[in-house]
Structure 1
Amino acid sequence: ASVDRSGGFTTKAGGGGGGADDKVPYVTMMQVRALIAGNAGTCIGKAVTIAVRYAHVRRQGFTAAGAGADPRLTQVYGAANEHMLLDYPMHQYRLLPLLATAYAFRAVGQDLAASMRALEQRLYAAGGSVTKLELSQLHATSAGLKALTTREAAEAIEDARKCCGGHGYLAASGFPELYTTYLQNCTVEGDNFLLPQQVSLSLRLRLSLGRSPSQSRGPRSARSWPRPS
């Protein structure tokens, strides 16, 4: 495609016909979103690693010496021993789900990237034998996962920083650079406010394709929508 000096837009001969050449750039964009989704898990993992290590070293709140008491701390503090932050259920409640999320996002990013590679190979090998419905589904999946993973990752990094108390504000903690560097992912390759709307449009399309022609005519009320079985 090209744009002339007067603003006229023209496509190349045969362009826009749904061939492989038309789809490859689109698949490339979706591949980047798959990488972003996987990278969200990596960045959450970095934040959780910092927070868990801090929670293991940081001691707060004394407990009576006894079974499980650290003898090294007993030498310093006497009969009383201090709790690790990780000893507190509330701290575990905040950090352990983030750890699980890191693994989940890494896995979903790898799975989505594999789907994109398989699609790209089909485009090259079979001369573009990919349906628009398949592309629509992958577009919705990549758009939704990109928006979800980046939003959750940004919130997870910030929550992990809060788990480190005042030390989380220090540049030496690694959080300031990690957080400010990561935030741009909520905007690149599709703003997170718009991408979920692409998912809803795709779902509406698939829902309409599953209807009979008579159901698709005319205005519909909420009562006409299918109910879960």
Structure 2
Amino acid sequence: MIAIIDYGAGNLFSVKNALDFLGYENIITSSAEDLKRADKLILPGVGALPDAMKKLNETGLVEVILDEIAAKDNCSGKPLLGICLGMQMLFQKGYEFEETDCLGILEGEVRFIDAPGLKIPHMGWSDIKIENKCPLSVGIKEGDMLYYVHSYKAVTPKENISLYSEYGGIVPGLVFNGNVYGAQFHPEKSGKVGLGILKNFANL
């Protein structure tokens, strides 16, 4: 069973609908016990990073999430997928409006997309390139298209990047470390390619 974490700042139902379509048991929940019972966790997110982190901290679920994914043991527990803002929350710090401490699971920071001459937010379909293979990128090929909506991006070592797009520079699209993954794009809105990534996650 996949638990979609409800902390008041997520694109919950689009993710749930995609998992329902694929036929995977899932639940939207803010219960620590549900997270402990689940086989996998999804951390969605929309909006501003400081507000989302504040809401997540207020739920009291941060320590539960870290314990379940074994963040202190090189991410060797339950698989976790952060989506869009949920991916950004996996890093150490973010700089949207103000400096914000994030979950610190992945090495790196979240910074504004510096893309002179290009529209911000980065919104729409972008083709992808492969930096490193990972379990979620199985079946994905260079040139496949994914759907993005964001103004901030992760700045992280190359070894953490599986897929990326180019928009005034490298935009990490799919990041990973151990059993923790983050998708800056919206897999639930990215057609067959995005559904394939969700299926890969569900089948871990």
Give TM class, smaller chain: under 0.3
* Bigger relative CO (Cα 8 Å, ≥ 6 apart): 1
Larger fraction in helix: 1
Given the two structures, how large is their TM-score scaled by the length of structure 1?
0.20
Larger-gyration structure (1/2) = 1
